[in-house]
Amino acid sequence: MGKNKNKNLDKLTTMVGICMPIVTLPQLYSVITADNLQGVSIVTWSFYTLQAGIFALFSIKHKVKPLVITYIPLLFIEFAIVLVLLIR
């Protein structure tokens, strides 16, 4: 794979990394505003939060910018979802 193709892949990865937290925001909004949270699993969202935390630490340690861009915001959003589920 040439350097130009790597740059394109890097740009695509960064763009997707920016989009991931953004597309998770409607789920947070839904959990906050929903009358009924049946079918929303705290176990699943807790695991997502744990996974985001591990990947955030990994990406910071290894200085992988696209992963930092993805997993730091996801960690906060997913943690907020877990908090809402615990409170409600």
Residue pLDDT, tens place only, 21-80: 999 999 999 999 999 999 999 999 999 999 999 999 999 999 999 999 999 999 999 999
How many domains are there within the chain?
Answer: 1
The residue range of the domain holding 70 is: 41-88
Q: Residue 34: inside a domain, yes or no? A: no
* Mean per-residue pLDDT over the chain, rounded: 94
Angle at 28 between CA 46 and CA 25, to 5 degrees: 115
Ramachandran category for residue 39: left, alpha or beta (phi over 0 → left; psi -120 to 50 → alpha): left
| d(C-alpha 74, C-alpha 65), whole Å | 14
H-run or E-run covering 17: helix 3-33
Percent over 70 (pLDDT), the chain: 98
CB distance 66 to 10 below 8 Å: yes
> pLDDT class for 5, splitting at 50, 70, 90?
confident
Say which amino acid occupies 55: F
Q: Residue 24: inside a domain, yes or no? A: no
